[in-house]
Amino acid sequence: MERRHLIAALAATLPLGVISMRVGAFSKDEKQYWREVLEPDAYAILIEEGTERAGSSPLDNEKREGTFLCAACFLPLFASHHKYDSGTGWPSFYDTLPEAVETKRDFKMILPRTEYHCARCGGHQGHVFDDGPKPTGKRYCNNGLALRFVPGGEALPEARLPAAG
């Protein structure tokens, strides 16, 4: 079965809105752009959907008020008041900012998981699980290298995206 037919078949079995065709669909030019502007470890996570080692991100212990942005395009993804200590070794949040992420099913570990990406650039952030705290019950388990933290009161950087074309 061709990949696109397999994706369509899987999409038909999932709730509406679970699969985004933008997620993970980087052109050769987009990959080159991100390779030039991102550090190699961040590129491996954001563009190649890698995972950093648990406990390796200083953002797991970040407790200040502020905003967590996509490290690629700088879209605000999480408010600091949504962050909590999940004990997993990765920055974790119980909710996202409105329309900040898109999700898709991930079968890389055989059992299906829900992967989430930046809604603007498609950069891989992590996985969302149903074992988080109230009020959502969600745990957005994020790679620290996929995030940039901006303390409260500081200006957010302008969006960064490859040129259209």
Active centre residues (catalytic): 141
Q: Which of 86, 87, 85, 62 is nearest to 147 (CA)?
A: 62
Q: What is the DSSP-derived secondary structure letter of residue 61?
A: G
134: its two tokens: 């109230």
Spell out the alpha helix ranges (H) of the chain: 3-13, 28-37, 40-46
Residue 98 C-beta-side C-alpha neighbours within 13 Å = 0
Q: What is the DSSP-derived secondary structure letter of residue 74?
A: -
